[in-house]
Amino acid sequence: MSKQFGFDLRLARRKSGFTQCDVAHLIESHQSNIVALEKGEHLPTLEQICALSLVFGRSFEGLFAEVIEDARERVRSNLPSLPDKCAETALATNRKANLQRLERRLLANNGTGHDS
């Protein structure tokens, strides 16, 4: 997953005309960190994600589509095995409704995982 992010980051940087040094300066990092990100050696921190989104004018989802899809698959695969042991209270009703909503969002595959 980080290899694809690195490829996308490199492509976005080159399309923008920025050097690795430019991006490092803008997000208050080091060029070696940008090199490592582009090689897919690690994923950026949350703060770096926000800064990169601003630098390249792209949404989080646009930068991390593959990461989001991996998370979607993991959550979707965990839904059937979720324990059903829950006290019958108003909270249990809310839980059931929210689990159904979650399943619909995951199956909708609209790219965000958010309610429309």
* HEC secondary structure over 29-61: CCHHHHHHHHHCCCCCCHHHHHHHHHHHCCCHH
Domain count for the chain: 2
Q: Which residues form the domain of 33? A: 2-63
What is the per-residue pLDDT for 3?
A: 84
Note whether 50 and 99 are same-domain residues: no
> Residue 111's pLDDT band (boundaries 50, 70, 90)?
low
Note whether 47 and 84 are same-domain residues: no
The pLDDT tens digits for 4-52 are 889 989 999 999 999 999 999 999 999 999 999 999 998 889 899 999 9
* Length of the chain (residues): 116
The pLDDT tens digits for 68-104 are 888 889 999 988 888 776 555 556 677 778 878 888 9
**Number of neighbouring beta carbons within 10 Å of residue 12:** 18
Is 12 a member of any domain? yes
Note whether 76 and 44 are same-domain residues: no
Is the model's pTM score more than 0.85?
A: no
Note whether 53 and 103 are same-domain residues: no
CATH number of 7's domain: 1.10.260.40
Residue 113 has pLDDT above 60, yes or no: no
Note whether 36 and 55 are same-domain residues: yes
